[in-house]
Amino acid sequence: MIVLRIRGQFSREERVVIEYVGRLKGEVYRERVKSLLVEYDKEFVPPLSVRAGGDVLRYCESLLKDRFILAVKGDDVVGFLSFRHGYASELLERYSPSNYVTMVIVERGYRRRGIATAMYSELLHNLPKKLRLPYVTVRTWSTNYASVKLLEKLGFRRVAVVEDERGRGIHTLYYGIELRRSHREKPKTRVESLKMRRVQ
């Protein structure tokens, strides 16, 4: 769990809790994720609704099978990151199997406060042990500057490009990061830390 203290409306300090929650069971969180997808549908290229035959809720049903990291302020979800565990594909061959990010959205009023960075940090360093893998992967598109900047700042490498896949001049970009053992498992004691160094 990561607790972010950010400046909210009227410069009031707000507390945002970022936490891996697994598959979404509670109706409240599921509805909130749906509403974020509906609200920001058109920010995606192509829009999420277009990817699901015109119905963003259909897209949502399939996304809800994934695992989630939520950014929660009070009772409200202000952002989420979803991912698939054990993902493998030809394009990401060298980075397979991975934890593959299927969606990241931060509510507009909360952007540029480090929420996406913190959600990625939870994914890269704080997952339950049984879900940790050496690779994390994700795809985005070439005109999504915010996403490209974010991934490169986090240390992701561009692994593959599918040119013009999303329209003329709009390429699909695949990114991956390899996590060192020391990144995946933070040593708790000096003895564990020494053992870990030896097996690297």
Ligand X SMILES: CC(C)(COP(=O)(O)OP(=O)(O)OC[C@H]1O[C@@H](n2cnc3c(N)ncnc32)[C@H](O)[C@@H]1OP(=O)(O)O)[C@@H](O)C(=O)NCCC(=O)NCCS
Q: Which residues bind ligand X (CB under 6 A)?
A: 40, 43, 104-106, 111-117, 140, 144-147, 149-150, 153
CB-nearer residue toward ligand X: 46 or 187: 46
**Residues near 62 by beta carbon (within 8 Å), at least 6 away in sequence:** 52
To ligand X, the closest distance from the beta carbon of 189 in angstroms equals 32
CB 21 within 8 A of CB 1: no
Angle between helices 27-40 and 56-63 (to 10 degrees): 130
CB-nearer residue toward ligand X: 127 or 138: 138
CB-nearer residue toward ligand X: 104 or 133: 104
To ligand X, the closest distance from the beta carbon of 187 in angstroms equals 27
CB 36 within 8 A of CB 107: yes
What is residue 123's three-state secondary structure?
Answer: helix
To ligand X, the closest distance from the beta carbon of 119 in angstroms equals 8
CB 18 within 8 A of CB 137: no
Cα distances (angstroms) measured from residue 86 to each of 48, 77, 136, 150, 176: 23, 26, 10, 23, 14
To ligand X, the closest distance from the beta carbon of 200 in angstroms equals 29
Cα 16 from Cα 6, distance rounded (Å): 7
To ligand X, the closest distance from the beta carbon of 130 in angstroms equals 26
CB-nearer residue toward ligand X: 82 or 96: 82
To ligand X, the closest distance from the beta carbon of 199 in angstroms equals 33
Strand partners, 3: 17
**Residues near 14 by beta carbon (within 8 Å), at least 6 away in sequence:** 5, 6, 7, 8, 73
CB-nearer residue toward ligand X: 96 or 147: 147
